[in-house]
Amino acid sequence: MRALWYERFGPAAEVLTLGEMPDPRPGPGEVLVRVKASGVNPSDVKLRAGARPGAVMQFPRIVPHSDGAGVIEAVGEGVDSSRIGERVWLWNGQWQRASGTAAELIALPAEQARRLPDGTTFEEGACFGIPAMTAWYALFGDGADLTGKTVLVTGGAGTVGRYACQMARLAGSRVITTVSSAEKARHSTAEEWVNYRDTDVAGAVMEMTDGAGVDRIVEVDFGMNQAASLALIRPGGVIASYASAGVMEPKLFFYPFMFKDVTLRMLIVYQIAPETQARGAAVLGHWLESGALSHAVVSGGGLADAAAAHDRVMAGEKMGTVVLSV
């Protein structure tokens, strides 16, 4: 099979290699998927560059990318053979594994290949996994009922933020997001927004909520936004943060948060418990079937264009998920 790989960390153009590798075979409990599209997430790019916290080369050769979509071609022992021919979206393909979705074939645990409705393209399915599951986990992973609640999504134009805005609205919440331009506000899908570059976010959101604040924050940069989050969160509220790139080791305002009885959730979807992941995947599958979610696909070309695609993700200027056709 054709596959993309790297054998050391470094710049994309220097370390990414496209070539031939042996076809994988599905082991017990696994499915073999013919990959049609491979999503490029920021975490994939940071790992290839060696820039992700704790990054080490766990394997001599790594085929990158966690997300993708394709068709099940074969199944391993213990997996129902009726799944052969099923269209699927993939997630967590390369987490603690040598082989990700940047290849014509991937063998991975059957539960990491979820049915992709006919109405959803492979490219859309490839940008769904990690971002959509992260958004769902931040909003609902603790079992919250968000009906009638007010949710602030910081960075609503990002891949996770855009899904979070849609999901919170589907749950019956009032959604406010922060963005850096009117164009990105439209991209976020949220009707209420604040430009964080030219506006005091805390003051603006408190005014929008008549001084009540918000019940939950889906946070893209905990350390950078900690002061505003503390001002905005209601007593008993939840801050669910999936990143803190701006301030990676923030000084925690412990007592102010404590006296508001705030729950801080530092989450990473790679470590989600199997039963929680199954619950989330069922909800996401329902939304896919009903066409309730829109997807932002940015075409990145084919596997031969992977270095440019990685650089585009690293630059951070694109709106949506860069997807490679396989």
Give the pLDDT band of residue 52 (cuts 50, 70, 90): confident
Examine domains 2-128+295-325 and 131-270 and report if their fold is the same: no
Does the domain at residues 131-270 carry the CATH identifier 1.10.3720.10? no
Is the whole model's pTM more than 0.75, yes or no? yes
Q: Predicted confidence band at 54 (pLDDT cuts at 50, 70, 90)?
A: confident
The band of 2, judged by pLDDT with boundaries at 50, 70 and 90, is very high
Confidence of residue 166 (pLDDT cuts 50, 70, 90): very high
pLDDT digits (tens, 9 = 90+) for 38-49: 999 999 999 999
- 250: which DSSP letter? P
pLDDT score of 229 = 98
pLDDT at 242: 96
Domain boundaries, given as residue ranges, for the chain = 2-128+295-325, 131-270
Strand (E) or helix (H) holding 193: strand 192-195
Give Cα 148 to chain centroid, integer Å: 25
Under DSSP, the state recorded for 36 is E
CATH fold label, 2-128+295-325:
Quinone Oxidoreductase; Chain A, domain 1 (3.90.180)
**72-78: average pLDDT:** 98
Assigned token pair, 311? 């650089």
- Intra-chain end-to-end CA distance of the chain, in Å: 11
Nearest to 154 by CA among 91, 246, 262, 235: 246
Chain position carrying tokens 């996994």: 129
Contact (CB, 8 A) for 72 and 33: yes
pLDDT tens digits, one per residue of 103-141:
999 999 999 999 999 999 999 999 999 999 999 999 999
Please check the confidence at residue 53 and state whether its pLDDT lies above 80. no
Rounded to an integer, the average pLDDT of 63-71 is 97
Does residue 96 have a pLDDT over 90? no
| Selection from 144, 149, 178 nearest residue 283 by Cα | 144
Q: Average pLDDT of 194-217?
A: 97
**Mean residue pLDDT across the chain:** 96
Residues of the chain above pLDDT 70, percent = 100
CB 164 within 8 A of CB 105: no
Top pLDDT among 269 and 173 is at 173
pLDDT at 89 over 90: yes
pLDDT of residue 318: 86
Mean pLDDT, residues 21-27 taken together: 97
| Residue 254 three-state SS | helix
